[in-house]
A and B are shown apart, each in its own frame.
Chain A
Amino acid sequence: MSTTYQESPSRVLMKGNEAFAESAIRGGCRYYFGYPITPQNEIPEYMSRELPKNGGHFIQAESEISAINMAYGAGAAGGRVFISSSSPGIALMQEGMSFACCAEVPMVILTVCRCGPGIGGIQPGQADYFQATRGGGNGDYKIPVFAPSSIQEGSDLVFEAMELADKWRNPIIIFTDGLLGQMMEPVTLPEHIDVASSKDIRKSKAWALTGYGADDSSRNTITSLRLQPEVLEKHVHHLFDKYTEIEKTLTRAETIGIEDCDVVLVAYGIVARITKEAIEMLARDGIKAGLIRPISLWPFPHSVFDKISNKAKAVISTELSMGQMIEDVRLAVANRLPVRLLSRTGGMIPTSLEIAERTKKILATM
């Protein structure tokens, strides 16, 4: 109905990838660097068209390696940066993520997950859970990872992440998949925030590379190398003090009925939506199934698992991967309950019926 549109002009029907890109711009992104890879191509296309209209800059990089290093440069210079890629492209960006964490350069990275290993396939997947939460870059570092399960939530998280990256001086990953990226849903877009001009960057980011002007006592350097072990250890401890604070404030999950249930399904992203329908199907068959939907994959919401009913017979990690999140689920459950895997991979997506039936089969073995 057109009335909804008139009441809220920011409510639009949009493809996931485009909504995420638009929300990044509204969250202050003025710099985007990207390389084409399916299924996220709408994002560089959208940014190439829309960023210049908002006073921003788009570069089509020669590779994902260059894209993340352009992001590092723009971020180090105090700009608000958003980049995106998909699985093999994110693999190429891993060195850059480690570097940015060590140098404390903010950026938001959207990963639209497809299937692997290798080139794999271009259908939706979640087999990059480890890639996002553990990372393939070297050294001790952490990146907060948020996994939306709707375009609205993804849009809100991208918008918020633009601020969080600056606040924590750390990359933030929004982990989504080819399904969420490619589908369309109504979404209410956030309002545009004001963005500091290049000349004013030092007022809000005293650490940024802007040129020090007349006073070289305010000279800034952004570095990753620390050759003295005692200096590097101190720096890594500083980073981990920050990560501890992040764990306290950014751990997020949605739960449904876990205090009184026969089984708990753990699912994130698009799978959580299918799982919700499976839970309704199971309820019709008299099985009480609860849901834990981690929204932050790191920090993983371990403590919500403590609320699981004692009468639950199993916790089932439901993933589009061969058992990656299940490792965090096992840590969170800490041997209180049996943990089982319900998995599809290679781009195959379970129906709600399949999840319900396989849950019943698992329960039958308990």
Chain B
Amino acid sequence: MARFLVRIDENACKGCELCRNFCPKKLITVSAHINDKGYSPAEISREEECIGCMSCALMCPDGAISIYEEVSE
């Protein structure tokens, strides 16, 4: 089973929540703290359940999300 890592640049995030809305596994939540811009940034939870569909990254208007796949050497 492939394992994906979702990296969210919290200071690039404007807290629009489009990623949260479109994650089919509902893995993205909104942080309780605010970032440098004054927004509550997106956070990834239960990352191990990520299926790497890229919906979050495709919808992110601010380039805050990168996705990586763990592959064996």
So, do A and B actually touch in the complex, CB under 8 Å? Answer: no
B residues lining the A interface (CB < 8 Å)? none
